[in-house]
Copies of this chain bind each other. A is one copy, B any other.
């Protein structure tokens, strides 16, 4: 018999939807010890919170996140709000003894993330940061192939996250749809929003990053702010490239921008090892590229592996070979792993501590971009 796990969701935006969908679907496909029960959704505007609750089947709604955190029935607090509110909510939830699932990036900066880690570790609550791309089956498979040693010594790790949605100077900053352009709400631009994903995956695949050198740029210097209605300076980074050294001696090359015309969410990575290489691309997330030099030379080439067979990570839960899953399934996998970890006492990663490590790389990248010098990454 499954145990109920009462969920309180804070934030009814895009991420609120992806998480709610995952809670609704997970038990249809995974055999888990817990069954999420949607109790309450919290958001700033009451009518929207109400509509969201109806659409997704939450029992109630509120506009005050403290009510969620203080509600004794709630087992899990799920934080899907703007980056600048993560810390306060997470620390209150920790103190209230709730399990916590927090959207990425964990915090506005490393100092804040450190406080959060201290709080949740003191409270001893289960915790996870939602770097969901780890749980694209192809990305999980990449981890498995690396861990099996198939690549041998790693020489290069290359990742990009390219978008093009802010090229127009008419895109405003601030508000529900464009808070990611407002430095107060987001903390940073592409670094926290996009590169954080790349960094999380990269360190999971390839170990810690030790030092970085970054180039950051803000192409559009002023944008209308939706809250003030005035043209205001843009405080975020529109684009960032950084080079780095990993502790294992390999080199990294990372780039993110929202000015790469033609790319919507082109998160790609490639890992070059002594024997084999791996490539992946979010625009075709159900495929993995694999090259193995040990193949016989006349039939050696990059393989396009269609990740739909049941021996692929997570894929025994879904359909039949050839039939692809999509973006939303990463969140289902995430909650499935989280619930399994909860039952077994083995926390799923990335934990808040992992999220802190990523935050410290982001800090170093931003500082390097500002100062135009190499930066050591602080130890978490």
Contacts and interface: CB of A to CB of B under 8 A. Distances in A.
Nearest to A211: B372
Interface of A: 14, 18, 20-21, 24-25, 27-28, 55-56, 141, 144-145, 151, 155-156, 158, 162-165, 167, 213-215, 217, 219, 239, 241-245, 251, 253, 255, 257, 259-266, 270, 272-277, 282-288, 290-293, 295, 297-306, 308-309, 311-312, 318-329, 372-374
Given A255-B253, A322-B283, A327-B324, A277 B303 contact: no
B251 A272 contact: no
A299 B307 CA distance: 9
A261 B274 contact: yes
Contacts of A329: 326
Nearest to A219: B155
B261 A283 contact: no
Contacts of A167: 155, 274
B320 A14 contact: yes
Nearest to A327: B323
Contacts of A214: 243
Contacts of A274: 167, 261
Contact of A266 (B163, B276, B322): B322
Oligomer: number of copies: 4
B260 A272 contact: yes
A313 to B, nearest CB: 9
A165 B293 contact: no
B215 A245 contact: yes
A308 B213 contact: no
Given A261-B277, A262-B302, A265-B323, 10 more contacts: A151-B261, A155-B260, A215-B251, A253-B255, A261-B276, A264-B309, A300-B305, A301-B306, A304-B304, A319-B328
A121 to B, nearest CB: 33
B262 A241 contact: no
Contact of A306 (B56, B264, B308, B312): B264
B305 A299 contact: yes
Contacts of A263: 272, 277, 322
11 contacts: A24-B28, A25-B25, A156-B239, A213-B243, A261-B273, A261-B277, A264-B306, A286-B324, A290-B299, A304-B304, A325-B326
Highest count of chain B CB atoms <10 Å: which of A56, A156, A242, A311: A156
B14 A28 contact: no
A280 to B, nearest CB: 13
Given A28-B20, A55-B28, A328-B325, A155 B300 contact: no
Highest count of chain B CB atoms <10 Å: which of A151, A242, A261: A261
A303 B306 contact: no
Contacts of A311: 297-298
Contact of A156 (B259, B264, B270, B309): B259
Given A14-B320, A308-B264, A309-B297, A286 B239 contact: no
Contacts of A323: 265, 282, 326-327
